[in-house]
């Protein structure tokens, strides 16, 4: 019984005392000689194990765990994608010519450097705006990063296949954006479905 008390945690538990008293609350923990449970006043209280008849645990809904896991995975994906875009934006602002050569295999003219820096500012802002804050990402930010990654992958693929660009980072950038778009597809779609 003690092992079950230590392992299990739930949201609407009942402590059954040998005196016949039942206390509703959340199981807070146990040791070899006592159980910690909210008292009738709601404050944490320890009950000697000799006074405890049993504890009934009420499990949260089954889909609560899967939603929490999906939210955590979405948060990690959003953080990764936002960090990549912010870092790329900073790189374009600071070193537009180098990024242009590595990504496209070609140098940039003066007007190309100006446009690359402006694109860097936009990517930095996208990364900052989509950075998950608090516990979750919003539907809008998930859809924004999904759309950006999908369109970036399509365009980078077009540059390689349709325009014949060859460089060190073009194929890896295509793969990263395609992979992020694929991984963000479900969260972007499921969040949209939840709103309906």
In this predicted model, what pLDDT tens digit does every residue of 145-190 receive, in sequence order? 999 999 999 999 999 999 988 888 999 999 999 999 998 888 888 7
More confident residue, 70 or 83: 83
- Give the model's pLDDT for residue 56: 79
Do 90 and 144 belong together in one domain? yes
Do 40 and 78 belong together in one domain? no
Q: Is 16 exposed, middle or buried (0-12, 13-18, 19+ CB in 10 A)?
A: middle
Distance from C-alpha of 53 to C-alpha of 13, rounded to nearest angstrom? 14
Residues in a beta bridge with 62: none
Helix (H) or strand (E) holding 192: helix 170-195
Do 50 and 79 belong together in one domain? no
Do 76 and 33 belong together in one domain? no
Do 175 and 120 belong together in one domain? yes
- Domain hosting residue 170, numbered range: 62-195
Do 48 and 137 belong together in one domain? no
Tens digit of each residue's pLDDT (9 = 90 or more) over 19-76: 988 888 877 777 777 888 887 777 888 888 888 888 777 765 545 445 554 555 788 8
Do 51 and 107 belong together in one domain? no
Contacts of 41 (CB under 8 A, 6+ apart): none
Distance from C-alpha of 143 to C-alpha of 141, rounded to nearest angstrom? 5
Do 50 and 72 belong together in one domain? no
- Give the model's pLDDT for residue 89: 95
> pTM of the full predicted structure?
0.61
Do 42 and 110 belong together in one domain? no
Do 12 and 92 belong together in one domain? no
Domain count, the chain: 2
Q: Is 17 exposed, middle or buried (0-12, 13-18, 19+ CB in 10 A)?
A: middle
Do 148 and 186 belong together in one domain? yes
Do 73 and 169 belong together in one domain? yes
């Amino acid at each position: 019984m003690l092992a079950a008390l230590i392992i299990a945690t739930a949201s609407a538990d009942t402590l059954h005392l040998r005196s016949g008293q039942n206390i509703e609350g959340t199981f807070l923990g146990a040791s070899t000689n006592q159980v910690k449970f909210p008292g009738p006043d709601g404050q944490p209280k320890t009950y000697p194990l000799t006074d405890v008849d049993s504890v009934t645990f009420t499990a949260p809904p089954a889909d609560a765990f899967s939603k929490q896991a999906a939210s955590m995975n979405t948060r990690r994906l959003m953080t990764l994608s936002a960090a990549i875009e912010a870092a790329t934006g900073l790189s374009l602002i600071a070193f537009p010519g180098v990024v242009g050569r590595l990504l496209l295999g070609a140098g940039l003219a003066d007007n190309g450097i100006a446009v690359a820096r402006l694109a860097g500012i936009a990517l930095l802002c996208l990364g900052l705006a989509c950075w998950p804050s608090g516990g979750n990402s919003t539907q809008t930010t998930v859809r924004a990063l999904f759309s950006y990654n999908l369109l970036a992958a399509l365009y980078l693929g077009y540059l390689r296949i349709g325009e014949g660009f060859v460089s060190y980072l073009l194929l890896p950038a295509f793969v990263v954006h395609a992979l992020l778009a694929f991984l963000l597809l479900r969260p972007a779609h499921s969040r949209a479905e939840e709103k309906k």
